[in-house]
Structure 1
Amino acid sequence: MSERTETAAPTAVPAQSAPVSPAPVGVVDSGAQKVPGSGWWRGEAGESARRNLALIGVLVVLIVIGMITRPDLYGDLGWVGGNMMTILKLASAVGVVTVGMTFVIIGGGIDLSVGAIIALAGVWSTTVATQQFGAGGMIFTAIVVATCVGLVNGLLISYGRLVPFIATLAMLVAARGLAAEISDKQTQVSTNQTINGIASNEVLGIPVLVIILVGVVAAGWVLLNRTTFGRRTVAVGGNPEAARLAGINVRLHTVLLYALSGLCCGIGAVMLTAQANSAQAAMANLYELDAIAAAIIGGTLLSGGRGSVVGALLGVVIFATITNLFALNDLSPEAQNMVKGGIIVAAVLVQQFRFKSLTQFFARNRLSSTG
């Protein structure tokens, strides 16, 4: 009996579709079809520009309110220009601190200790022993002390596995206490004229404090948008586990973020010391709230993964303008704080609506169009 062999029928190879050429520049994928003409303004990349323009619009509204309430002052263009420089000078230290805070929040953290770090760095740099080394020694001391405290925050959070809120809250109390101990609860006067001159000197008519602020903001923008460090910061804040699987050392990067925040606090401590010609344990009170609020107003997500250095700066300027406007109209600080609180709540609500409700809305529309 001959053995019969059965041969399997050849498996049909599925037809391969022709390779798809990449979409040309300026064409955005909208699901079923390509929509030409959708540039940077309409896409997600234009979100930052649209938000910044909205913040500039808020500043314009505040100026209009000032013109209505104090026409005697805002009618003088020279006074308006000088007043804007005054606002920028007053906001310079908070603005520098906000840059560091923005990086921390984008990276998925929070830093409640920035005000206390400024106080500790300022007090340490104005001790009699430190002032003997001149302006360079004072600046070096302020920056090194603040950066080291930021490193401690990062180590506690990354390797000690403490929640950022708890770690930085504990540092807030400890740093204020150490500053009070070093200064013996007394105001320490800065006798160095180079340091004190930072607040009064100008370069080409621009205050040195404003130049420092612009320089820090520019450096922060480049670091966030044009370097690997910035891309890793966004990745760590957006999804730490995915960032870890992609080869990013999440723990080390978190430590560096808090060190960067400390560095900004050190610069801010020098600026505040120059403005007051002194330092004390109570300086920079509630700066952490101002920095967090400015970052949120500027579009930085509290959940991490997205933010804008320029938007954070505009947030700082808005708050400083509100303070200035309230002072010109002899309104109470309590009313000012209520307005600030309302702005913060409104900004968070806008974030929740834009990034949850609208995302779900467009997702439903995409499904319905492709279904």
Structure 2
Amino acid sequence: MITESALPRVEKTHKLDDGVVRNLGLVGVLLLLVVIGIITRPELYSDPTWVKNNFLTILQQASAIGVVTVGMTFVIIGGGIDLSVGAIIALAGVWATTLATQSYGAAGMIFTALVVGLAVGLVNGVLIAYGKLVPFIATLAMLVSARGLAAQISGKQTQVSTNETINSIASTKLLGIPLLVWILGLVVLAGWVLLNRTTFGRRTVAVGGNPEAARLAGINVKGHTLLLYMLSGLCCGIAAIMLTSQATSAQAAMANLYELDAIAAAIIGGTLLSGGRGTIVGALFGVLVFSTITNLFAINNLSTEVQNMVKGGIIVAAVLIQQFRYRSLTNLLRRRNDPDKPSQHPSR
């Protein structure tokens, strides 16, 4: 049996180098967006206080979608897709803000949101892993169903959160940093550790890269797929509380198109849609790129239609780069790091 320790050292090296190059490229994109902001609104960027507050605003706006993207990244690396994340957030938020749930206080609201997220993720996982439905179809059906159930529960009305503890989450700061950003940081850290330092992460990559080989290696592919969708649902439950706190309310239409934003951020971060490869750090950078673009358009009073066209162009560019550049870069790094390659100056 081939063990992980028996893999060629060059294979691990080129993956590390490729990840570093990709993340540095995303940092470059963020810096370019900042430069564009400085050029277009120099009067704002000349104020250090405004720059600091704007930076925190970008992070706060990225917090909820960032949490969702962590779960989405795991699902995509595992060879799946989840189109229902926005609907799960809406259902969890609406269920957590009913009068009956709010009567149990903040703990009851948080517990309800997390359980609803896990339960819907469980249903997705069962349909896909054991019902053998295509992930696209199963989660698309869940998108429609969860939105409909959320509308039924709320009576198509906005439900106001009257719990001060929940509402204060969005306005609370620790060490000058919004609590929402701290929550995002903790989820990203937990996701990074889970993907890179645990058996669960290695199995996720194996299942997404080659499910049959993973099965032959003794991995319970169906059970692992189920856990991936439950993890995605859990992240949606967390995001539901975060968004409810920001709006002090919940409704069936909340988190609209979050599934597309999360998928796009994961792709920008280098996650392959075919599964088997991706990073949490790269996905976070993808979220920050889109949040910075949104902020840039806002401070320049540009329409959301133009913003969406720019986002679409970025997504297309990212996929093209994955398709045409990744293999060339991989081969280049392999040649550079291969200790057995012939010398360029053979002895005479």
TM-score (norm 1): 0.87
Distance 1:202 1:267, change over 3 A: same
How far residue 48 of structure 1 moved from its aligned partner, in angstroms, is 1.1
Greater relative contact order: 1 or 2 (C-alpha under 8 angstroms, separation 6 or more)?
Answer: 2
2:70 pairs with 1:110: no
Equivalent of 1:171 in 129, 142, 150: 142
Distance 1:70 1:362, change over 3 A: closer
Which residue of 233, 248, 261 maps to 2:232?
261
In the aligned structure 1, how far is the partner of 2:285 from the partner of 2:104? 37
Q: In the alignment, is residue 76 of structure 1 matched against residue 62 of structure 2?
A: no
User: What is the aligned-residue identity percentage?
Assistant: 74
- Tell me the TM-score normalised to structure 2 length: 0.92
Compared with structure 1, are the counterparts of its residues 83 and 242 closer, same or farther at alpha carbon in structure 2 (3 Å cutoff)?
Answer: same
In structure 2, relative to structure 1, the CA distance for the partners of 1:243 and 1:28 (3 Å cut) is closer
The correspondence for 1:338, drawn from 309, 313, 328, is 309
SS in 1 for 2:100: helix
Tell me, which stretches of 5 or more residues in structure 2 are unaligned?
344-348
Q: Which amino acid aligns with 1:136?
A: A
Deviations 1:25-81 (A, max 9, x none): xx9669xxxxxxxx95xx322211111111111100000000000000011111111
Note the residue ranges of structure 1 that are not aligned, 5 or more in a row: 1-21, 31-38
1:348 lines up with 2:319 in the alignment: yes
Aligned equivalents of 1:235, 1:75: Cα separation in 2:
49
Q: CA deviation at 1:356?
A: 3.8
Q: Is 1:202 matched with 2:173?
A: yes
Tell me, yes or no, if structure 1 residue 215 matches structure 2 residue 186.
Answer: yes
1:302 aligns with 2:273: yes
SS at match of 2:322: helix
**Contact 2:79-2:207 at 8 Å conserved across structures:** yes
The alignment of Structure 1 onto Structure 2 pairs a total of residues equal to: 335
Pairwise CA distance, 1:361: 7.7
1:228 aligned partner: 199
Q: What residue in structure 2 maps to residue 133 of structure 1?
A: 104
Distance 1:28 1:259, change over 3 A: closer
Contact 2:114–2:234, Cα closer than 8 Å, also in 1 = yes
RMSD over aligned CA atoms reads: 2.2
State how far apart, in whole Å, the 2-side matches of 1:352 and 1:135 are.
Answer: 46
Alignment partner of 1:292 is 2:236:
no
Check if 1:55 corresponds to 2:19: no
Aligned residue among 229, 240, 245 for 1:274: 245
Contact 2:18 2:329 in 1 (8 A): no
Pair member with larger Rg? 1
Give, in whole Å, the separation in 2 of the partners of 1:320 and 1:28.
37
Aligned counterpart in structure 2 of residue 311 of structure 1, from 282, 302, 322: 282
Alignment CA distance shift 1:140-1:363 (3 Å): closer
